[in-house]
Every structure is written in C-alpha cells, then in structure tokens.
A and B are shown apart, each in its own frame.
Chain A
C-alpha cells in the first residue's frame, strides 16, 4: 500500500499536466526504511517524449547522492502516460530497477480525468497496490 499526502499527490498530478504531452517523471524521497514519501523531486525527462522518459544521467547522480547523504531512499518513482492508461508498460517493467520503490503512474490522456495508480515492480512482476491519501 502507498500512503501519500494529498499535497504530494497533487504535485505529481500537476507536474504531469504541466509537461503534457510529454511524459513527466520524478521521485519522492523519504527516510530509508520508513516507507513514507516526503520530499518531492521532479526530474527532467531527458527524452522529452510523449511515449518515453529517462532521468538525465547527471541529475540522477546528483539526486541519488543527495538522498544517500540525507539517509533517504526513493520511496516513489513516478511518471505519466499521455495517451494510454496509468498502468506499467512492458518498458516500464523491464527498466524498473529500484526494488523498494512504489511506482506511481498517472495518465493525462483525458483532460478532466485524474488517473493516479501505484504499483510494485519486482523481478519483472507488477502488483497494483492501494493508495491511501493521508490527511495533512
């Protein structure tokens, strides 16, 4: 289960809307082992594509080092699909490399519809999980 604040959930959705029609992507860091997303880190999509995303390699190094220095880990890794459902694609599954992360997918295919779902991806297997939006 992913527990996330309304504020952080809204930030992810806003980022996805702002970058539409390109895919948006980012991380929410939290204390290592705590399973609590706390620090919102939107990332550049180096691919700038409506169908693919990739973190810029040097930005990823900087962010990963910073998390390490702060005793954090990537609790949420999010990205958006701009014309398809908010479900991990074959590519999403094959590149998922943070076994402890909650993979959040949003879809911006419909302007008036919010699609926000969370998944665990381990050893090539996808499991959808409930999202609990915590009060402030």
Chain B
C-alpha cells in the first residue's frame, strides 16, 4: 500500500530533506503512526491530544481532512496526503 505524503519545507529536517515520502495505513491516524515510525518526532508536529494540530492543514487529495473526520479519515492506495502549516498571525 503506497500513500504519498507531501512534506512542507519546515518539516523536511525530519525526513532528511525529502519533500515527499511514502507511507501506509488505512486511516490518517495509522498513516501518521507509520510516518512517525520512519521519521521519529514528525507526528508530534502534526498531532496533539485533540487530533490534527489547529494550525496545521492536512489535505487528503484535494480536501481538508477537517471535513473528512480528521485522524479517522480513511486513506487508500494511491491517495496523496499533503501537509501545510497554516499561514496565520495578526496583531493579537
């Protein structure tokens, strides 16, 4: 089972500079566990106690996983998961 996970610039230090890695899992939760097994510490940058971190955007193909059940979203062979840190900020 091969699911491509696209890694943003700021997290490529965890993957030895690779911008795209291959992982497996039936759900996003399993996928991230697999990802962490291969690239230790990466999961913690993506997930906290309540699920996907609030200012990390995770996409399954063209959709934001917030609308697909977050970590419980099903993933399939050939899917692409993209991670992008949210661009945010402000005076507050």
A residues with CB within 8 A of B: 23, 25, 27, 43, 47, 49-55, 57-58, 60-61, 64, 77, 79, 81-84, 88-89, 91-92, 95-100
Q: Beyond A60-B57, A61-B82, is A96–B89 a contact (Cβ under 8 Å)? A: yes
Please, how many angstroms separate the alpha-carbon atoms of A51 and B85 in the complex? 20
Please, how many angstroms separate the alpha-carbon atoms of A97 and B86 in the complex? 8
Indicate if the CB atoms of A55 and B82 lie closer than 8 Å.
no
> Which residue of A55, A77, A81 contacts B91 across the interface (Cβ within 8 Å)?
A81
Complex interface: chain B residues within 8 A of A57 (CB): 57, 59, 64, 66, 86
Q: Beyond A97-B8, A100-B9, is A55–B90 a contact (Cβ under 8 Å)? A: no
Indicate if the CB atoms of B89 and A88 lie closer than 8 Å.
yes
Complex interface: chain B residues within 8 A of A88 (CB): 89
Q: Beyond A61-B62, A95-B55, A97-B8, is A51–B90 a contact (Cβ under 8 Å)? A: yes
Indicate if the CB atoms of A92 and B90 lie closer than 8 Å.
yes
Complex interface: chain B residues within 8 A of A92 (CB): 89-90
Please, how many angstroms separate the alpha-carbon atoms of A23 and B88 in the complex? 11
Complex interface: chain B residues within 8 A of A99 (CB): 9-10
Question: Which residues 2-29 of B have a CB within 8 angstroms of A?
Answer: 8-10
Complex interface: chain A residues within 8 A of B59 (CB): 57, 61
Complex interface: chain B residues within 8 A of A60 (CB): 57, 84, 86-87
Indicate if the CB atoms of A54 and B86 lie closer than 8 Å.
yes
Complex interface: chain B residues within 8 A of A100 (CB): 9
> Which residue of B8, B9, B87, B92 contacts A55 across the interface (Cβ within 8 Å)?
B87
In the complex, per-residue mask of B58-72: 1 if CB is within 8 Å of any chain A CB, else 0: 010010101000000
Please, how many angstroms separate the alpha-carbon atoms of A82 and B92 in the complex? 11
- Closest chain B CB from A118 CB (angstroms): 15
- Closest chain B CB from A60 CB (angstroms): 6
Indicate if the CB atoms of B57 and A84 lie closer than 8 Å.
no
> Which residue of A64, A84, A95 contacts B88 across the interface (Cβ within 8 Å)?
A95
- Closest chain B CB from A100 CB (angstroms): 7
